[in-house]
Every structure is written in structure tokens, then in C-alpha cells.
């Protein structure tokens, strides 16, 4: 298990936890927003003498506020982490997987990727990219023995929505929150089954069904109201 994060303390704690379970773990401390992050990860894998059999792209950040009000650099950083780094790491490891005819990529998207999101425009757009990119790459590697899956959960109890005021909206207060372990398990089962997309939870699937039934203009209006900061 190779763990990648910008927090050395978190990596050290996880490595100890894995080691106590008899799972060898290595830590790579890197900020995925940096342009050379992918190369640094690749270099470290080479130093360890290992290759990536399964890549899980779960890093992500969110911002609440209008595009005009939010800091420009922070919005670009969001795209660097949520979309560019995910793409960089995927295209670095994918050729080896195809050559070995084994392995795959599990990308963590969101049901937010199915609609534009006023007051969280960059975040919603980044998840739409993840969904589209995953589906296209999955079609490209079909028949090669490589699996590419997009996990699209709703609100999950993680630190993502604890940072800043991201969790202070009506929609986030109203929607049920799933546990991280259960969500991860659903994604892993779908990946092992060779599925391209998984939306865990009946409530989330009902929300998506409603999204496709409602006119786009009405969806935008509702999200504009529900995602105003409280």
C-alpha cells in the first residue's frame, strides 16, 4: 500500500495502522496541487521498486461561494487537485496496466458531477470532469483487463465539508450523510465487479433520478437557493 497525502503526520499514523495489520505501507508526502507532484510520486515508486496495480484517486477539496467572490488562486488549486492531478496520475500508470492486462483506476467523483452547482461552481465542474473522464477512459480500455470506475457518492462524513464554511448550506444540512467506510466499500466492490459507475445509496440514486426529470433551469434555481451560505 502506497499512501499519498500532503500531511506527514496523517501518513505516519496510517502507515503505523497498516503495519499493525500486517500490511506493508509506504508514505509519499506531496501536495498534489504542485505541478511536479505526479513525477515525484512516479519517482518514489521507482525507488521502492514497485508499480501501481490499482490507483485510487480520492484527493479533493471544495469551496463555497460565488466564482466572482472566491479567491482565484484557491479556485485554480481546487482544479489542480480535483481534476489535473487525477488525470496526471491516471495517464502515468494506465499504460503499464494495459501492458500487463491487469489492474485499474478507481476515481472518486460525486453526484454533484451531474449538475452545475451555483455557489460551488468549480467543485461541481471538477466532479463533472471526473465522471466524463472516467467514462471515456473506461471505454478506451474495454477488453484489456483493466478496470476504470467512478464512485459517485452523495455527502460523506469526511473532513472535506468541515473545512472553512463549506458545510454551511441548506442542501448539506438536509441531505443524509453516509459513512466513509461504507462508501469506500461500495466503490471497491463496484471496481472489483468491473463496473464503470457506482452511485451508492438509494437516496442518492433517487436524487439523480429527480435531477434528470426536472428541467435544467429549475435545477439551477433550486441549487442556487439550497447552496446559499447560511
115-165 pLDDT, tens digit per residue, is 999 999 999 999 999 999 999 999 999 999 999 999 999 888 887 776 656
What would the grid cell of residue 25 be?
Answer: 505501507
- Measured CA distances, 68 to 74, 118, 188, 206 (Å): 12, 11, 38, 32
133 or 230, greater pLDDT:
133
Separation of alpha carbons 155 and 191, rounded Å: 20
Q: Mean pLDDT lowest for which of 2-16, 117-131, 142-156, 212-226?
A: 212-226
Domains and CATH numbers, the chain: 53-226 (3.40.50.720)
Query: Mind listing the pLDDT tens digit for each residue in 172-187?
Result: 777 778 899 999 999 9
Active site residue 114: no
Separation of alpha carbons 225 and 220, rounded Å: 9
Q: Which of 114, 123, 124, 129 is catalytic?
A: 123
Amino acid at each position: 500500500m502506497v499512501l499519498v497525502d500532503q500531511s506527514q503526520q496523517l501518513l505516519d499514523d496510517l502507515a503505523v495502522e497498516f503495519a499493525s495489520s500486517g500490511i506493508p505501507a509506504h508514505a509519499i508526502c506531496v501536495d498534489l496541487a504542485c505541478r511536479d507532484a505526479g513525477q515525484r510520486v512516479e519517482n518514489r515508486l521507482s525507488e521502492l521498486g514497485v508499480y501501481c496495480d490499482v490507483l485510487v484517486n480520492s484527493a479533493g477539496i471544495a469551496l463555497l461561494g460565488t466564482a466572482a467572490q472566491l479567491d482565484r488562486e484557491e479556485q485554480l488549486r481546487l482544479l489542480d487537485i480535483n481534476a489535473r492531478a487525477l488525470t496526471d496520475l491516471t495517464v502515468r500508470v494506465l499504460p503499464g496496466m494495459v501492458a500487463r492486462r491487469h489492474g485499474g483506476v478507481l476515481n472518486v467523483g460525486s453526484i454533484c458531477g451531474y449538475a452545475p452547482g451555483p455557489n460551488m461552481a468549480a467543485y461541481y465542474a471538477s466532479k463533472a470532469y471526473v465522471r466524463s473522464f472516467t467514462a471515456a477512459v473506461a471505454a478506451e480500455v474495454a477488453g484489456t483487463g483493466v478496470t476504470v470506475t467512478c464512485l459517485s457518492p452523495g455527502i460523506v462524513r469526511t473532513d472535506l465539508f468541515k473545512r472553512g464554511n463549506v458545510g454551511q448550506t441548506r442542501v448539506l444540512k438536509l441531505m443524509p450523510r453516509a459513512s466513509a467506510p461504507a462508501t469506500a466499500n461500495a466503490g471497491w466492490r463496484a471496481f472489483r465487479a468491473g463496473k464503470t459507475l457506482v452511485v451508492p445509496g438509494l437516496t442518492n440514486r433517487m436524487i439523480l433520478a429527480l435531477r434528470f426529470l426536472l428541467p435544467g433551469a429549475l435545477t439551477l434555481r433550486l441549487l442556487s437557493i439550497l447552496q446559499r451560505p447560511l
